[in-house]
Structure 1
């Protein structure tokens, strides 16, 4: 695995000129062939890929789409090609890469962590229409023109503003993708419900505690960020709120069984301390579990 530490290194691998040491925009059709290998990135990278590339490794999974797709990589992530043996491949599409120091101290530097798609998995990539692709490529070309022109005191902020505009477009396009995948999302919600049902029917709560968003996302083969965004858009609740509501729903049924104490129910649901369960129940229902039992039984 090669460590990707600079924009100059990124450009050199592709045989392209570096116009700015911390920021680059490349038309990959002008890149030379590169050796297939995985990279550990210290850069923010946005790939716009326009052909099928099933060998592309992105995080823990493989990119295997046809058509125009955006992939987002943040520092600390692994990407690249992992074939059976090394070979030369021709990069395609467009790519933006910039070092974190390029945006440090700016509005984007403070807010880039709020763009969750930099932590999505490959099967959660953004698929764009022809019209959306035109907008993205136009934005990338304008950034490239600014970088290749005369650099002055305004250049950095103009480029950073253009990156923010691009990320705003991507946020909009992801919202559209969540809507157009409505049937698929309903299936995920049903699987989430089933996962929670099976979880509380097992001994897992006593062994590992109440289910976390990360656990549920992993079991359903999503990144925690994408899963949380999907549940929020489908239900209006965060995934954590959804789990808490399910805990309350199940606990109401068990509270009616007077053979169990409230503490026993709390432990069965995965709470280390019954007081934490009582606090959550009162927050959600308005009364304590003991009070709920007294008026319900």
Structure 2
């Protein structure tokens, strides 16, 4: 049975932030490891340009990665290589690039392990997607778009007690589309339903869906379907 470790921790990606770790008892069986590096380490490297791709830095603590024994050894191996370079008596022109390469390797492994975690938590993920769908259905049925605008990824994530990045990454891995794209598709489905199943004026539908001006709604609807709401209604 694979061993899994988890530490309760509080952290922030802001510069100068404090990271606290609460070690579960018995403490003798737990040896926390932390990799911390200054942004200057990455200046001028390809990794600096791709850091935004590591979206898990913005995950909540309850969305932490749970490592198997093998995965844990892989991460420790990366950290030991970095430690070896830092403690080497020889710091030459290759040292910085080797450190950065191993930092990137560690971050890439975390993406792989998160992919595994998303895949193995099928029941939990399906429950989140079902709650996401129900949340959007309730939002549009309640008429909130008319007063509060269209739902955002952040709004939905807050209601689901998730970080926005975690919700988006989960949706991409499970459904193949981002949370933002999923919301847009839901808006279109709702718009088509109102256009085809009701006799409401287009202006009323536009306001009901949170569009400030009917012409903006008509333009958006045509971009999505190839025809205006009135044309769509007539051709049915």
TM superposition score normalised by structure 2: 0.88
Matches within 5 A, 1:147-186: 147-149=86-88, 150-186=90-126
Ranges in structure 1 where 5+ consecutive residues have no aligned partner:
1-49, 60-72, 83-88
Please report how far the alpha carbon of residue 118 of structure 1 lies from its aligned counterpart in structure 2 after TM superposition.
Answer: 0.8
C-alpha distance 139-167 of structure 1, shift in aligned 2 (>3 A)? same
Q: Distance in 1 between matches of 2:56 and 2:190?
A: 33
Q: Distance in 2 between matches of 1:95 and 1:253?
A: 52
C-alpha distance 233-77 of structure 1, shift in aligned 2 (>3 A)? farther
1:288 is aligned to: 228
Q: Which has the higher contact order (CA 8 A, sep 6+)?
A: 2
Please report how far the alpha carbon of residue 208 of structure 1 lies from its aligned counterpart in structure 2 after TM superposition.
Answer: 1.4
Preserved CA contact (<8 Å) 1:255 1:293:
yes
Ranges in structure 2 where 5+ consecutive residues have no aligned partner:
none
Q: Distance in 1 between matches of 2:152 and 2:188?
A: 15
Equivalent residue for 2:84, pick from 125, 137, 145:
145
Q: CA RMSD in A?
A: 2.2
Equivalent residue for 1:231, pick from 159, 171, 177:
171
1:109 is aligned to: 48
SS of corresponding position for 2:34 = strand
2:142 is aligned to: 202
Matches within 5 A, 1:212-291: 212-257=152-197, 259-291=199-231
Preserved CA contact (<8 Å) 1:74 1:119:
no
Q: Distance in 1 between matches of 2:146 and 2:184?
A: 16
Matched, 1:98 2:37: yes
The more displaced of 286-295 and 139-148 is 286-295
C-alpha distance 203-78 of structure 1, shift in aligned 2 (>3 A)? farther
Q: Distance in 2 between matches of 1:212 and 1:255?
A: 23
C-alpha distance 143-81 of structure 1, shift in aligned 2 (>3 A)? closer
Q: How many residues align?
A: 227
Q: Distance in 2 between matches of 1:75 and 1:52?
A: 25
Q: Distance in 1 between matches of 2:33 and 2:21?
A: 17
Please report how far the alpha carbon of residue 286 of structure 1 lies from its aligned counterpart in structure 2 after TM superposition.
Answer: 2.2
Q: Deviations over 1:9-60 (max 9, x none)?
A: xxxxxxxxxxxxxxxxxxxxxxxxxxxxxxxxxxxxxxxxx86655x3346x
Structure 1 runs of 4+ off > 6 angstroms?
Answer: none
Greater helix percent: which structure?
A: 2
C-alpha distance 191-76 of structure 1, shift in aligned 2 (>3 A)? farther
Greater strand percent: which structure?
A: 1
SS of corresponding position for 2:49 = helix
